[in-house]
Copies of this chain bind each other. A is one copy, B any other.
Amino acid sequence: MTTPVSEPRFTARYWLETAFPVEETAAAMAGEQSTGTFLKLASEADPLVQQQAARIEAVSVLDEVATPSLPGAVAPKGIAPVWRRAEVTLSWPLDSIGPSLPNLLATVAGNLFELRELSGLRLLDITLPQQFLDRYPGPAFGVSGTRRLAGVERLPLIGTIIKPSVGLDAARTAEAVAKLVDAGIDFIKDDELQSDGPACPFEARVDAVMRVINDRAQRFGRKAMYAFNLTGEIDQMRRRHDIVVAAGGTCVMASVNSVGLAGFSALRTHATLPIHAHRNGWGAFYRSPALGFDYRAWSKLWRVAGADHMHVNGLRNKFAEDGTSSIASARACLTPLTEATPATVMPVFSSGQWAGQAGETYERLGSADLIYACGGGIVGHPDGVAAGVESVRAAWEAAMDGETVEARSARTPALATALQFFGKVRG
């Protein structure tokens, strides 16, 4: 029984490492993730069962290494093992799971990671048929909706994170926000460590912060966007979202690994505000080169689920990720899934960002559709927060105007100071 070409299927592309012939390992993967067990069962040969089987779409051998990247893998007996790396693409009929993100994850990134035929496995990319994408709302705001709400047309949203991450109560958070908004900031986010702890309860924080933001919005005619971290249980997130709406807020934030796909979907279904999707914990998924996920694949899950903003670190960040990887992640965020369902999200640059990376970021990404979040890079400016914001905005204006940052700094002292001060600190 052959499958009609038009039957919708989803695909997953993997990087893998194995001491067995790659085709054989690919077949083991397809079996494990559809119709197999460790003994051949008669029913597996059944045409109706076969129709639901995973299929190998492509195999491409890359290189060989002498030692396995991960422990626990087995090799064929009787010969000195060679560990081959390859890219393998599998596909599944959509009918096997239906359009469901949680079940998609269990299928493309479930037991496969444990297969002992594999000494390495990374999920590089996924593709979903339009019928799948049609089931999910995707981002409600994305780049254009976020720009509209924040009142920022051309430049990136210049943003910051409330620091210290924890320890400020509602009133002191609002004081910090007042300084930032008065300094002209476009976007502020809670730290991911701050949600609704007794030391800074969510509702009190929203009340105090939105009083400041609403006051400035009335006076300045532009409302700074504040991403309130509502990470928690489903009912808590819904209630917190409604508190933000009632107070006139324009963004909420959730830690995606903390709430999970089903939790995030429930929030998205309920939400009427952009959702800032924080990826903390992502390091555990990507830092081993032989295991886990590429950001392109992983971020698609959250884009389909409805994230509006997603974190990508940035050039010369303080984490282990290199700048090339951050730029690739940001580009993935801005690349449509399909024509009918672009589901593009606004990449969030953060971690050690200041005016100094603006030019290169713009040059390498080729876009200013992003949130550029600086912590110390704004609030640590020697001349104060306003100078911090001015320095970052000026650096981006220069980048987009094709002006060197040095030329621009000649007429923007805040930028000159930033280059001198942070340049020495951060290199």
Please report A residues at the B interface, Cβ cutoff 8 Å.
33-39, 41, 43-44, 46, 48-53, 70-73, 93, 95-98, 100-103, 105-107, 109-116, 118, 121, 161, 163-169, 192-193, 195-199, 231-237, 255, 257-266, 278, 280-285, 287-293, 313, 318-322, 352, 375-376, 379-380, 425-426
Contact = CB atoms under 8 A, between A and B. Distances in A.
Given A255-B102, A263-B262, A192 B72 contact: no
A96 B322 CA distance: 31
Contacts of A113: 281-284, 287
A236 B103 CA distance: 12
A342 B193 CA distance: 28
B318 A112 contact: no
Contact of A199 (B96, B111, B116): B96
A114 to B, nearest CB: 4
A26 B415 CA distance: 34
B288 A111 contact: no
A16 to B, nearest CB: 13
A139 to B, nearest CB: 17
B98 A197 contact: yes
A352 to B, nearest CB: 5
B262 A105 contact: no
Given A41-B380, A52-B199, A96-B199, A106 B231 contact: yes
Contacts of A199: 51-52, 93, 95-96
Contacts of A48: 167, 169
A237 B103 CA distance: 12
A376 B192 CA distance: 45
Given A102-B258, A113-B283, A116-B320, 16 more contacts: A35-B165, A35-B166, A37-B379, A43-B163, A43-B168, A52-B166, A52-B167, A52-B199, A73-B320, A100-B233, A109-B281, A112-B283, A113-B284, A233-B262, A234-B265, A284-B293
B263 A231 contact: no
A191 to B, nearest CB: 9
Nearest to A97: B197
Contacts of A198: 95, 98
Contacts of A109: 281, 284
A293 B258 CA distance: 15
A380 to B, nearest CB: 4
A289 B163 CA distance: 33
Contact of A164 (B35, B260, B380, B425): B35
Contact of A289 (B71, B233, B257): B71
A296 to B, nearest CB: 16
23 contacts: A34-B164, A34-B193, A36-B163, A37-B161, A37-B165, A39-B425, A41-B164, A71-B320, A72-B320, A72-B322, A95-B198, A97-B193, A103-B195, A103-B258, A106-B255, A113-B284, A113-B287, A234-B263, A257-B260, A259-B263, A261-B263, A263-B263, A288-B290
A49 to B, nearest CB: 3
A291 B281 CA distance: 11
A259 B167 CA distance: 31
Contacts of A105: 255, 257-258, 281
Contact of A288 (B70, B112, B232, B380): B70
A232 B102 contact: yes
